[in-house]
Structure 1
């Protein structure tokens, strides 16, 4: 189980800093998802770790061995790191067994490593098939089996599920994660899919403009985002302004603030009395048809029914539109219905640098 560390890693393309001082630790045997919007530097980070790109500054180590740093650049073939690309890139003229065995020593082949990794990815008995006889999801599993076969120090997954349809993507993602765990592999998953990162990774490194802005557990990133941008990027978010004024508390306090959704309890309140940006998740917005002391009267303007839950869009008295996630609804809510809404649980808040009212 190899541990990867990046310290102050920088990579420029002319005047553009694709990586602007990246610090990241991937513990041995874990899977870290690098999550961020297009152009934030995710793929450049992966290519630098693999050795396809030279870094301009900083250091990359695996188990203390320096692979990249000042005057050091270990070539890709000597790093014992493998990449699973977006599309498996299997050899079309080789069978599944020969694809997986490619690059293995005769000894490893004799010890049954090919059959072992095919079992790990749920493809036992498929060795004689050709790639064109496999579905897209099966081909991606073969690609993962081929990556695991030589027992690499690190497995890099470059959006490997993006070409699959939604239902198949979830199934393959689950099986690939199980295979990595069973083999004790250390992995990095590059993705722009928040759900994929939250559901499959041990840790999430959120990237923006060439730097890691938060490195945390999935629950930490979702419930304790580092700033309002992370909050809005990872999952659905309702961002509410709170005007400046007395009684907003001091740093570290928990207090109740007034918002368009009514009173909201805020933890880790920023110091001072300046305007705030408050984050509320849709599942915290509760709808009631009976009178409630904290409720704000809202009007239903839309209802997206998903079976297991629904997203109800509401218009508040001040014209603000918010979304409530309603679990296991019995049926759609009629547009125009007036309901009471209030916020349950604790919200996050940050200083509003642009002012709030």
Structure 2
């Protein structure tokens, strides 16, 4: 069973109050989402010990980081914090930036080499931050934090200001870093593409308080079978689709399908711009606004429009995919 990050926190400022109690499994990526000003970044800062005005308790596994009698300073909490800005040392090469993070914690060279491989940093090691692109800078900043060997990773809108192409470049690296190293992460974001690609669970907050848990992104397993001029050809179920993945793409991917990213119909879809059409079967109807669909050998809880009649369990339907967010799985 995964460890848990548990907290009961309060913080008051002029015009804002944070009051949150929660237990978050330290497994995979937990997205913390909500409107601007909801308190997402403030929550991360409180958990990291960067807000001395916060009262309450924070526990990381069995370790008490904060309560009425104890306050562990930020550098000793085992939290790796990736800020919105890269914050690299401009006078140091990429290699020296990475070494700085590792040296503070006495991390072995093998760990740095693994991070360089996971984040594809080898071509950048001799360069200085001033000569890096936005996406490259964010990867190096992530690598420097990982080199300090934290117990949990905090990602505070780490792709702010990047265009969609640069985000698509860095997100698979975040997946490799968190899942490849077995490192749990909290990701602050309100961007659908980031949440659909990265999140294993979704914590929603609003006006400094708990607003419930969001739906876990629906993901289908897919496999790269060949590469082409437009990216990679993948097989999901018995269908083939082409996605703009890099030539070095991993063999196995998970394709997140957002609620507006697929259509379910009782008959074969007509011609259109769909990525793929899969035969599916209706399963249980749990009464929570979703319908269980058996798609490509995988059962998913698909959100069902209110007022639309659900076909009887066992009915054959078509699941037509219009949009996906891919992430590597190995």
TM (norm. structure 1) is 0.59
| Structure 2, gaps ≥5 residues long | 219-258, 277-301, 308-330
Within 5 A, what are the aligned runs for 1:10-159? 10-14=10-14, 16-17=16-17, 19-25=18-24, 27-54=25-52, 56-105=54-103, 108=106, 111-159=109-157
Q: Contact between 2:107 and 2:149, CA under 8 Å: does it hold in 1?
A: no
User: Shift of residue 118 of structure 1?
Assistant: 1.3
Aligned counterparts of 1:121 and 1:208: Cα–Cα separation in 2:
33
Residue aligning to 2:176: 178
Q: Cα distance 1:345–1:42, how it changes in 2: closer, same or farther (>3 A)?
A: closer
Q: Cα distance 1:215–1:127, how it changes in 2: closer, same or farther (>3 A)?
A: same
Aligned counterparts of 1:109 and 1:51: Cα–Cα separation in 2:
23
Within 5 A, what are the aligned runs for 1:1-357? 3-14=3-14, 16-17=16-17, 19-25=18-24, 27-54=25-52, 56-105=54-103, 108=106, 111-219=109-217, 346-348=304-306
Q: Cα distance 1:156–1:110, how it changes in 2: closer, same or farther (>3 A)?
A: closer
C-alpha RMSD of the superposition = 3.1
Aligned counterparts of 1:89 and 1:138: Cα–Cα separation in 2:
13
User: Shift of residue 87 of structure 1?
Assistant: 1.8
Aligned counterparts of 2:303 and 2:130: Cα–Cα separation in 1:
52
| Structure 1, gaps ≥5 residues long | 221-279, 289-304, 310-343, 350-357
Q: Contact between 1:177 and 1:200, CA under 8 Å: does it hold in 2?
A: yes
Aligned counterparts of 1:69 and 1:348: Cα–Cα separation in 2:
45
Q: Cα distance 1:171–1:21, how it changes in 2: closer, same or farther (>3 A)?
A: same
Aligned counterparts of 2:68 and 2:54: Cα–Cα separation in 1:
8
Aligned counterparts of 1:53 and 1:308: Cα–Cα separation in 2:
46
Q: Contact between 2:80 and 2:148, CA under 8 Å: does it hold in 1?
A: no
TM (norm. structure 2) is 0.64
Residues 1-32 of structure 1 show CA distances to partners (whole Å, capped at 9, x for unaligned) of: 97342333211114631x2233141x234111
Q: Contact between 1:2 and 1:154, CA under 8 Å: does it hold in 2?
A: no
User: Shift of residue 116 of structure 1?
Assistant: 2.1
Aligned counterparts of 1:126 and 1:208: Cα–Cα separation in 2:
40
User: Shift of residue 78 of structure 1?
Assistant: 1.3
Q: Cα distance 1:95–1:216, how it changes in 2: closer, same or farther (>3 A)?
A: same
Q: Contact between 2:101 and 2:145, CA under 8 Å: does it hold in 1?
A: no
Q: Which has the larger radius of gyration?
A: 1
Find the residue that maps to 1:98 and give its secondary structure. Answer: helix
Q: Cα distance 1:83–1:55, how it changes in 2: closer, same or farther (>3 A)?
A: same
Q: Cα distance 1:141–1:13, how it changes in 2: closer, same or farther (>3 A)?
A: same
Residues 290-349 of structure 1 show CA distances to partners (whole Å, capped at 9, x for unaligned) of: xxxxxxxxxxxxxxx99969xxxxxxxxxxxxxxxxxxxxxxxxxxxxxxxxxx983358
Residues 117-144 of structure 1 show CA distances to partners (whole Å, capped at 9, x for unaligned) of: 1111111242111112221111111111
Residues 139-189 of structure 1 show CA distances to partners (whole Å, capped at 9, x for unaligned) of: 111111101112101111110111211111122112112122111111111
Q: Contact between 1:204 and 1:218, CA under 8 Å: does it hold in 2?
A: yes
Aligned counterparts of 2:180 and 2:303: Cα–Cα separation in 1:
37
Find the residue that maps to 2:115 and give its secondary structure. Answer: helix
Q: Cα distance 1:281–1:166, how it changes in 2: closer, same or farther (>3 A)?
A: closer
User: Shift of residue 212 of structure 1?
Assistant: 2.4
